[in-house]
Structure 1
Amino acid sequence: MSISAGMVKELRERTGSGMMECKKALVEANGDLELAIENMRKAGLAKADKKSGRIAAEGLIGAKIANDGKTAAIVDLNCETDFVAKGEDFIGFLNSIATALLTSDVETPEQLQDMKLESGKTVDEVR
């Protein structure tokens, strides 16, 4: 099957992955977009497992204070490189966690992973 540029574009938009990675996934899935997404997700989990032992020594600390001045949230979010820490996505993620914490009753890291952000997704889904 021939993989069109439009198919690659759609997969890129849905996954945020690179063009060549998307094309490779579509070729392996014989043009099936949903199968390509599933295979990319599985491959991503395998990559994440390999990286889990690596040190995340960079990151940011963010703080938010509620409008009433009675509640505050402090978030320490780590990553592997300073380039990631300086990126808009990382900073936005940090701020969205801090904002959500102001109105939550999270007490454990496990609860934090399942906490819904303003986007409707959980912290773990966005991560």
Structure 2
Amino acid sequence: MAITAAMVKELREISGAGMMDCKKALNETNGDMEAAMEYLRKNGQAKAEKKAGRIAAEGLCRIAVKDDTTAAVVEVNSETDFVAKNETFQEFVEAVAKQAVDSDAADLDAFLAESWNADASKTVKEALVEKIATIGENLNIRRFEKVVAQ
């Protein structure tokens, strides 16, 4: 099946992956959009594993407040300050902060294992891995703290 620019564009809009990654996924799956999404997921996991050893020392902290009684602060690290200034990364950090303010997790491992608020079919860790594949740098949810007024 011939892969058209429109197909690549559609997959790119759905997945957030790079143009060449989308084209390769469509070629590997003979134009099957669902199979291409799965290919990108698996490929993204492999990319995340390759980047895991790289130091992520830049990043952002965000605070989310809920009902004026609960707040959470999160720190999400990236490898470079350029990514920290990236709108996609900033939106992800904001989503992580909102997740943390709603979370009952006792520690970071429990937090990463929680169902992701933006898409209940995946965990916070899986959302992080997808973002690593999309952005192309190692990212790390380093810590979070939740405070509840009494």
Q: TM-score, normalised by structure 1?
A: 0.82
Residue type at the aligned position of 1:124: K
Look up the match of 1:124: 125
Q: What stretches of structure 2 of length at least 5 have no aligned partner?
A: 129-150
Instruction: Give deviations 1:27-46, integer Å, cap 9, x for gaps.
Output: 22222222222222222211
Aligned twin of 1:76: 75
Instruction: Give the corresponding residue for 1:102.
Output: 101
**Using CA pairs below 8 Å that are at least 6 residues apart, which structure has the higher relative contact order?**
2
Q: TM-score, normalised by structure 2?
A: 0.71
Deviations 1:57-96 (A, max 9, x none): 111122234443x433121111111111112222222222
Partner of 1:33: 33
Identity of aligned residues (%): 51
Shift in alpha-carbon separation, 1:19–1:96, aligned structure 2, 3 A: closer
Aligned length: 126
Residue 124 of structure 1, CA deviation: 2.4
1:26 partner letter: L
What is the Cα-based RMSD across aligned positions, in Å? 2.1
Larger radius of gyration: 1
